[in-house]
Chain A
Amino acid sequence: MARAVTTQHKVVVTAAAWAVALIIFFPILYTIITSFKSEQEAIQGFDLIPSFTFESYADVQSQYNYFKPFMNSVIISVGSTILALLIAVPAAWSMAFSPTRRTKDILMWMLSTKMMPAVAVLMPIYLLFRDFGLLDSRIGLTVMLMLINLPIVVWMLYTYFREIPGEILEAARMDGASLWNEIVYVLTPMAIPGIASTMLLNIILAWNEAFWTIRLTTTEAAPLTAFITSFSSPQGLFWAKLSAASTLAIAPILVMGWFSQKQLVRGLTFGAVK
């Protein structure tokens, strides 16, 4: 017998869930509110009702070039994601479908690199970038972000691939499919939800990455993260402009996340194997 759920119980749980969601979302909400205030309002203290001025947006747009860092963000995050997938799909495929005794160790080792504090390798990486002329270059940053996120991409793809039943691939082999056909007609279509959600997550991670993007760029390759920091200028903090810049920086990723919610949920494999 199913547990009886009273209306009262439902209301309480729903209210609690909304409260938690609001607490998590509040900093972003307050940033958006502040971006619609004038600089004077912004420094006056806590206030949830702005005067709805677009002053800060106009300032950000006219005094600073938003479009350039935006394009840098797009190029770096999408570029690093495509690069990571090109390397990670074959890697995860081989680990999932022809594992060796060392596969688990390799996966753990890859993940362990994520446990290292980034600042520990800041110096050698900075020097390498300097010597290879990669400082403030989009190529350098793309490669850097690809390397940082590669372990996560491999891990995610590996778990998705592992869920594809080996028998289906064997059936394809029995049906006369070559390795290439097996990958094109069977594996990839079945893995698309997994690959898509890995791709989305990686774009988000790369878009939000702030440690390396700020330290390895100055002007040319600076993405939106560097754009935001440029508002904490020596002349003082401009809260409203900073908020407007932040809102502009997070808006694209929020919109993308909103529209791709469904892609992030998988379930295509259901029904093939009992």
Chain B
Amino acid sequence: MGNIVLRSVNKSFGATTIIPNIDLDIADGEFVVFVGPSGCGKSTLLRLIAGLEDTTRGTISIDGRDVTGEAPAKRKLAMVFQSYALYPHMTVAKNIAFPLKMAGESPEVIDRKVKDAARVLNLTNYLERRPGQLSGGQRQRVAIGRAIVRQPSAFLFDEPLSNLDAALRGTMRLEISELHNQLKTTMIYVTHDQVEAMTMADKIVVLNAGNIEQVGSPMELYNKPRNLFVAGFIGSPKMNLIEGAPAATHGAKTIGIRPEHLKVSTSDGAWKATVSVAEHLGSDTFLHVSADGVGPLTVRADGGIAVQHGSTVYLTPDTTRIHRFGSDGKAL
């Protein structure tokens, strides 16, 4: 079980409030991603759940038990840190065995569980090495191994992939998702990378300045962002936000249209635009254009489109996919 409930949680350091007031429900087995820009309080929130920081106000309960004042070790949670935080003086086997040893398991049980974890994570051949002799990806797997052996009620991941290169990040993302499918244990994952959030999460929690902006499934956030912040944060490339006359025609202060919801034509369309940069990725082409009377826009076009710097294109927004926002920044 791994049911986590936060009620009116507040965290302040002296006069500085990091998290003003958060309520959140995480169901058992869910993969929840906290996402937001640097300094939005997502790591602090995770550390509050872990027990590494004390809440200033509010309660945290796990499986119906109030754990607000409990030490991290008593919460039955496992955490994977950004820096891996492996014990450098212990071998891989001893690193993975450490939480079991602390729990007072017998040597036979420890040995069996370590071997099981090593097999799942492809670490069997590295058990006698020290962390210093492993690559970044292997170290990360050891950190995950150390987390899974205890069979915790939930896993906490604090930006676990940000030290890895792009290719490895993709592989590890997949591995963590597979691990979740296998274990079906609650996972809370903190990242500033909205691609990680979109691809891995059952539920995304978008945070900004310590407040929850929106909670929902990746597609809910993509299709129905509740405000300008979420609209701008979720989706890659970013949603185009347009103010002024084009917005007014839709009865809004600001309208948002995603790059993939703009139809590109070289002959005719609603807005005439000049291409400033065309990024040809093969599968797609990202056009950065300046549209007359609208302003700068990003467009996702077909990979085969033959335009370049200076070309004139015509854009037509998909009117069913236009997001409207009022003067308070909230969706209309």
Known: A272-B87, A274-B136. A170 touches B71 (CB 8 A): no
Q: How far is the CB of B154 from chain A (nearest CB, A)?
A: 12
Contact B89 A176 (CB under 8 A): no
Assess A171 versus B73: contact at CB under 8 Å? Given A271-B131, A272-B131, A274-B136.
no
User: CA of A69 to CA of B52 in the docked complex: distance in angstroms?
Assistant: 53
Which residues of chain B are within 8 angstroms of A272 by Cβ–Cβ distance? 84-88, 131-132
Residues on B with C-beta less than 8 A from A172 are 87, 98
* Residue from B50, B77, B102, B130 within 8 A of A271 (CB atoms): B130
Would you call A270 and B87 a contact (CB within 8 A)? no
Beyond A165-B85, A185-B98, A190-B89, whether A171 also contacts B130 by CB under 8 A is: no
Residues in B55-98 with C-beta less than 8 Å from chain A: 71-73, 77-79, 81-89, 98
In the complex, A137 Cα to B133 Cα: how many Å? Answer: 52
Q: Are B146 and A271 in contact (CB under 8 A)?
A: no
Q: Smallest CB-CB separation from B98: which chain A residue?
A: A175
**Min distance, Cβ A129 to any Cβ of chain B, angstroms:** 43
A270 to B85, CA, bound (A): 12
A178 at the interface (CB under 8 A from B): yes
**CB distance B132 to A270 under 8 Å?**
yes
Count of A residues near B, CB < 8 Å? 24
Checking B50, B71, B85, B130 against A273 with a beta-carbon cut-off of 8 angstroms, the contacting residue is: B85
Question: Does B317 belong to the interface (CB within 8 Å)?
Answer: no
Q: Cβ of B103 < 8 Å from any Cβ of A?
A: yes
A81 and B84 CA atoms in complex are apart in Å by 35
> Roughly how many angstroms separate A47 CA and B82 CA in the complex, as a whole number?
65
Contact call B132/A181, Cβ cutoff below 8 A: no
Asked if B216 lies at the interface with its beta carbon under 8 angstroms from chain A, I say no
Cβ of B79: which chain A residues have Cβ within 8 Å of it?
170-171, 174
Chain B, interface residues (CB within 8 Å), range: 20 to 34
Say yes or no: A274 contacts B88, CB within 8 Å.
Answer: no
CB distance from B148 to the nearest CB of A (A): 12
Which residue on A lies nearest to B47, using beta carbons? A170
Contact in complex: B146, A175 (CB < 8 Å):
yes
Cβ contacts A154-194/B at 8 Å (1 or 0 each) = 00000000000101101111111110010001100110000
User: Does A168 contact B77, Cβ atoms closer than 8 Å?
Assistant: no
List residues of chain B with CB within 8 A of the CB of A168: 85-88
B73 to chain A minimum Cβ distance, whole angstroms, is: 4
Say how far A104's CB is from chain B's closest CB, in angstroms.
17
Residue A219 interfacial (CB < 8 Å): no
Mark B93-119 against chain A: 1 for CB-CB distance below 8 A, else 0. Answer: 000001100110000000000000000
Q: Is the CB–CB distance between B81 and A170 below 8 Å?
A: yes
- Indicate if the CB atoms of A171 and B81 lie closer than 8 Å: yes
When C-beta atoms are compared, the residue in chain B nearest to A271 turns out to be B132
When the two chains form their complex, are residues A186 and B87 in contact, meaning their CB atoms are under 8 A apart? yes
CB distance from A3 to the nearest CB of B (A): 29
Residues of A within 8 A of B50 (CB): 174
Q: Does B311 contact A (CB under 8 A)?
A: no
Chain A CB within 8 A of B177 CB: no
Looking at the assembled complex, report how far the CB atom of B158 sits from the nearest CB atom of chain A, in whole angstroms: 9
**Contact present for B87 and A174 (CB under 8 Å):** no
Q: Does B38 contact A (CB under 8 A)?
A: no
Bound CA–CA A10/B14 (angstroms) = 57
Q: Which of B299-319 contact A (CB under 8 A)?
A: none
Most buried by A among B87, B132, B150: B87
Q: Mark B216-242, 1 if CB is under 8 A from A, else 0.
A: 000000000000000000000000000
Interface residue? A268 (CB, 8 A): yes
Inter-subunit contact A190/B88 (CB<8 Å) = yes
Within 8 Å CB of B163, what residues of A? 274
Say whether B85 contacts A176, CB under 8 Å. no
**Does A269 make an interface contact (CB < 8 A)?**
yes
Some 20 contacts from A to B, beta carbons below 8 A apart, are: A165-B85, A167-B83, A170-B52, A170-B72, A170-B81, A171-B79, A171-B81, A173-B52, A173-B72, A175-B98, A176-B102, A176-B103, A176-B150, A177-B102, A190-B87, A268-B89, A272-B86, A272-B88, A272-B131, A272-B132
Question: Which A residues lie at the B interface, using CB under 8 A?
Answer: 165, 167-168, 170-178, 181, 185-186, 189-190, 268-274
Nearest 6 CB-CB pairings of A with B: A271-B132, A272-B88, A176-B102, A171-B85, A175-B99, A176-B73
| 5 additional contacts (CB under 8 A) given A173-B73, A270-B88, A274-B139 | A170-B81, A172-B98, A173-B52, A271-B133, A273-B85
